[in-house]
Amino acid sequence: MVTFNRKTLLRACLASLLCQERPIDKIVVIDNASTDGTPELMAAEFSELTFVRLDRNTGGAGGFHAGMKWAYDHGFEWIWLMDDDVEMAPGALKVLLEHKTVGDFIHCRKTMTDGPHVWESVWDASACTPVTLDRDVSFANGNPWINVSYGNFEGPLINRMVVDRIGLPDVRYFIGGDDTIYGFLASFHARVIYINQFGIIKRIASTQPRSKLQYYLQIRNRFLNREYFESVGVRVPRKQFLALAFVLLLDNCKEILTVPAQRKWVNFQAVVAGLSDGWKGRFGPPPWLR
């Protein structure tokens, strides 16, 4: 489980893990160099758990890379991943393990603060991104689980075989898209599935305003997706992709117009920087962290 400066959410997430019907063999917390007293919380309330503190903030992608590497190097067969802003239903791990005969990268359904989350999607190859459906159509039609070609890191159970075949998450994403593309790559080697059972409660609303970092990465990371698409033979001409990126930029600008005046220019600069860096292939740490 990856955390950064959200110790209240961290406490609730860990409490849900310690109450699982099927006890977890090892809980490992990867701390992205939090400055809010997270190490003190862990020492005072969860000293029995394994706590790995990174020397700098590597984003969710870096945290999941470090956590999966720890679990893989210590010989675990199944790795359960999550952020600090989710809580797991008591039977979540039990249900996920019940599907290990049909899946290697297993997702369950999620409830948001405003109700059930729709996650069934189809890939738009021209834009190198999945497009979410209006509802989980396959589940409405009675399917107990479906194959998917993308992933998320909010509670999936992943077999070590996936790491054998595609390696660890790409730290260049920092946040946003690392999980989606990891599932995409895994789908060429393993059974990536989405099951019709709820097991996750997400405590951060999806309507929460985005930061300048999120604006920047949403556009820049789309160019990383293109890199992975081309690695499996999906060719998207650069000019066509740049046009699509401009459309995304314009959509972001429409959203930026609704934020407070003091944030408009900062966020606009972020989306332009994301477009520039993505086009030029600059996928190092975000500018604000260099």
- CA 24 remoteness from chain centre: 21
**What does the block give as tokens for 127?**
């834009």
Q: Which pLDDT score, from 0 to 100, does residue 262 have?
A: 61
- The alpha carbon dihedral of 62, 64, 67, 70 has a sign of negative
Q: Which pLDDT score, from 0 to 100, does residue 279 have?
A: 85
pLDDT tens per residue, range 35-52: 999 999 999 999 999 999
Q: Which pLDDT score, from 0 to 100, does residue 205 have?
A: 67
**What does the block give as tokens for 242?**
């740049």
Q: Give the chain's length.
A: 290
**What does the block give as tokens for 249?**
């930029």
From CA 264, how far away is CA 256, in angstroms rounded? 6
Provide the greatest CA pair distance for the chain. Answer: 55
Q: Residue 208: exposed, middle, or buried by beta-carbon count in 10 A (0-12, 13-18, 19+)?
A: exposed
From CA 143, how far away is CA 164, in angstroms rounded? 30
From CA 12, how far away is CA 85, in angstroms rounded? 8
Low-confidence residues in the chain, pLDDT < 50? none
AA identity, residue 152: N
DSSP 47: T
Residue 192's beta-bridge partner residues?
105
Q: Which pLDDT score, from 0 to 100, does residue 259 have?
A: 64
Residue 112's beta-bridge partner residues?
115
Q: Which pLDDT score, from 0 to 100, does residue 261 have?
A: 63
Name the strand (E) or helix (H) holding 52. strand 50-53
Q: Which pLDDT score, from 0 to 100, does residue 263 have?
A: 67
Q: Which pLDDT score, from 0 to 100, does residue 256 have?
A: 66
Asked if 21 contacts 96 with a C-beta cutoff of 8 angstroms, the reply is no
- CA angle 209–224–242, rounded 5-degree value: 85
pLDDT tens per residue, range 182-238: 999 999 999 999 999 999 999 886 666 778 898 899 889 988 988 898 888 887 777
- CA angle 114–95–156, rounded 5-degree value: 65
From CA 137, how far away is CA 241, in angstroms rounded? 29
